[in-house]
Amino acid sequence: MRRIDANRQGRDSKQGYDARWVLLVTLMLCAATEVFAGGNETAPSPAAAPANEAAHRRIIVSIPDRKLALLEDGRVLKIYPVAVGASVSPSPTGEFKVINRVVGPAYYHEGKVTKPGKNNPLGNRWMGLSKKSYGIHGTNVPASIGKAASHGCIRMGKRDVEELFELVRVGDTVEIVGTRNAEVEKVLHDPEQVGEEAAVVSSATRPVSSALVVAAMTNQF
């Protein structure tokens, strides 16, 4: 009887130890996930938001230059050619905000709906602006890029809009400028301002793999 009790106590003690170890690992993984993921950010549906929430990003669109520049914390990350509004349907000027991000948008015009696909005038990405009915999007007429050809929205080439889509988030500022000013001149035409860093995205925007988190936790035990 004593031997059975001793064996039972040993099993109970081992199970208790295992349960405490599992609980400890779970709590530490949850804490690590919070640190690496940057908290509980709600991503705009259906697209996931970029990870670097601390950076301040601005988009400047120059109508006369037909170019779009993406800046992060005052540094130029990217410059893209775009199409702007035609003379009969000019692009709005002023400061706006990105209010939504959509992959595979549908196009609504004059009571008709064009489903996502190669014939969709919006292309495969849409970044809606706080100016109703206006946005930055792709196109099914790539030859229009670099021209004043849209209904007022900002058109981009397929690869360019897909790349920009991954770099911006809801709440980013979009400034559409109708007349070239000193800042636009510097951003678009000063090679020292743009430099080699114009095509570099901060490594802070790269999401941390859950496998790395698990590996880090494993090394601590």
Name the H helices within the chain.
2-37, 158-167, 182-189, 191-194, 210-219
Q: How many CA atoms lie within 13 A of 79 on its CB side?
A: 21
Let me know if 153 is a catalytic residue.
Answer: yes
From residue 24, give the alpha-carbon distance in Å to each of 10, 33, 36, 50, 143. Answer: 21, 14, 18, 30, 59
From residue 196, give the alpha-carbon distance in Å to each of 52, 80, 201, 203. Answer: 21, 15, 11, 16
Let me know if 30 is a catalytic residue.
Answer: no
Looking at 30, 56, 109, 137, which residue is catalytic? 137
CB 111 within 8 Å of CB 102: no
Looking at 30, 56, 151, 153, which residue is catalytic? 153
- Which active-site residues does the annotation give? 137, 153
